[in-house]
Amino acid sequence: MELEDIKSFSNNSDSQLFFDYDLSKSNWFNIGGKTKIFFKPQTLQDLIAFLKLYNKRGKIFLLGAGSNTLFSGNVFEGVTIKLGKNFNRISTLDKNKLVAGSSVLDKSLSEFSMENSISGFEFLSCIPGSVGGGIRMNSGCYNREFKDILLSVQAVDFLGNILQIPYEEIKFSYRSTDLPKDLIYLSATFQGQNGDKENIQNEMSRLKQIKNDSQPSKIKTGGSTFKNPIGQTNKKVWQLIKEAVPKDISFGDATISKDHANFFVNKKNAKFDDMMSLIAYVKKSVKKKFNIDLELEIIVVD
Ligand SMILES: Cc1cc2nc3c(=O)[nH]c(=O)nc-3n(C[C@H](O)[C@H](O)[C@H](O)COP(=O)(O)OP(=O)(O)OC[C@H]3O[C@@H](n4cnc5c(N)ncnc54)[C@H](O)[C@@H]3O)c2cc1C
């Protein structure tokens, strides 16, 4: 990949460009090799200028908070983009509408809406990702998903063209949407309802308590590894794994959380291959015992 012109990509902004950048510290698993280019645009103008210059000459991956991503140990032959501070703003519009930049953390959005007495965003306090990752994954918990609060998505394609996508044009499904994969979400507009600050705060605490009681915290994980096989069984995927796989199974430092069988954990220095061996083993064991093909929820980037 020709990089000379990109190396000299410079302007008067504070956008950051790195080469052969280590990705292992930028995701929750703490796993991964290097990316040829790492770009952290601070403004939309810089992002568009970069995309036009890059002109899809290699791969492009958008990194949010890295809480759902497993990077391989290979060099990523392209650019990993992480949106910077201009994409981290939240504003209120009229009638309980909010606009949030894609790098805003879900937790911050739920806190902002609570401070402004807007309800509907309480569930976001339990998801450790960003707005961009949440749109891509249609993330959710406790019977609420991004689809329930989204009004529209503002995006840019890989060639730098800006798009505005209304809710009605997006088909949402469980942990997915039909939005094209070659889009960078810039921000989104959300609809909440009139709420009472104290009630919202109580609801957030209640949900966080349920989460803390049922899922591990302070571990290197990507959250739910597989999707629940909805329609194929009444069991949740963690139950299938619990019944099909010995609980102390590990490959290198890759293992299964004692608190939640669908959370796979990097105990210390697990490599990508260790995690993939664990994933393959669990998939095979569940297939053998229940004849169900599990589908990955985490995004594997190679
Ligand atoms: C402890 C733990 C608990 C979790 N609990 C839940 C839960 O309750 N519910 C749930 O749904 N998930 C849960 N997750 C998974 C994860 O937090 C969500 O999927 C989250 O929305 C991912 O956001 P992210 O910013 O970390 O995305 P990343 O991991 O950075 O990326 C995920 C995907 O989104 C894409 N993406 C990110 N930003 C953009 C953007 N701006 N434009 C285009 N694409 C983008 C990436 O390219 C990638 O394909 C949990 C994870 C952990 C570690």
DSSP string, 73-91: SS-EEEEEE---GGG--EE
The residues annotated with a catalytic role in the active site are 175, 224, 297
Q: How far is the CA of 8 from the centre of ligand 1 (A)?
A: 32
Report the CATH number of the 216-301 domain. Answer: 3.90.78.10
- Strand 254-256 and strand 263-266: pairing? antiparallel
- Residues 131, 103: contact at Cβ < 8 Å? yes
Q: What is the pLDDT of residue 257?
A: 96
Is 120 touching ligand 1 by the criterion CB < 6 Å?
no
Along the 302 residues of the chain, how does pLDDT read in single tens digits?
A: 888 889 888 666 689 999 999 999 999 999 999 999 999 999 999 999 999 999 999 999 999 999 999 999 999 999 999 999 899 999 999 889 999 999 999 999 999 999 999 999 999 999 999 999 999 999 999 999 999 999 999 999 999 999 999 999 999 999 999 999 999 999 999 999 999 999 999 999 999 999 999 888 889 999 999 999 999 999 999 999 999 999 899 999 999 999 999 999 999 999 999 999 999 999 999 999 999 999 999 999 99
Q: How far is the CA of 134 from the centre of ligand 1 (A)?
A: 6
Alpha-helical segments (H) within the chain: 4-7, 44-54, 106-115, 131-137, 197-214, 237-244, 272-290
Q: For the chain, give every domain's residue range.
A: 4-84, 88-213, 216-301
Which CATH architecture is the domain 88-213 placed in? 2-Layer Sandwich (3.30)
What number does the ligand 1 atom closest to the CA of 28 have?
A: 53
Is 174 touching ligand 1 by the criterion CB < 6 Å?
no
Q: What is the pLDDT of residue 9?
A: 82
Q: What is the pLDDT of residue 11?
A: 62
CA distance 226 to 35: 26
Helix, coil or strand: residue 7: helix
Is 102 touching ligand 1 by the criterion CB < 6 Å?
yes
Q: How far is the CA of 135 from the centre of ligand 1 (A)?
A: 9
Give residue 30's identity as a one-letter amino acid code. N
Q: What is the pLDDT of residue 14?
A: 80
* Residues ≥6 apart with Cβ < 8 Å to 5: 53
Q: What is the pLDDT of residue 8?
A: 83
Is 80 touching ligand 1 by the criterion CB < 6 Å?
no
Is 134 touching ligand 1 by the criterion CB < 6 Å?
yes
What number does the ligand 1 atom closest to the CA of 102 have?
A: 41
Q: Which residue has the tokens 């090799």?
A: 33
Q: What is the pLDDT of residue 12?
A: 61
Helix, coil or strand: residue 71: strand
**φ, ψ of residue 226 in degrees (nearest 5):** -110, 155
CA distance 119 to 91: 15
Is 223 touching ligand 1 by the criterion CB < 6 Å?
yes
CATH topology of domain 4-84: 3.30.43
Give the residue, by CA position, lying nearest to ligand 1 atom 41. Answer: 132
Structure tokens at 85: 């501070």
Q: Which residues of 11-48 are buried (b: 16+ CB within 10 A; e: fewer)?
A: eeeebebeeebebbebbbbbbbbbbbbbbbbbbbebbb
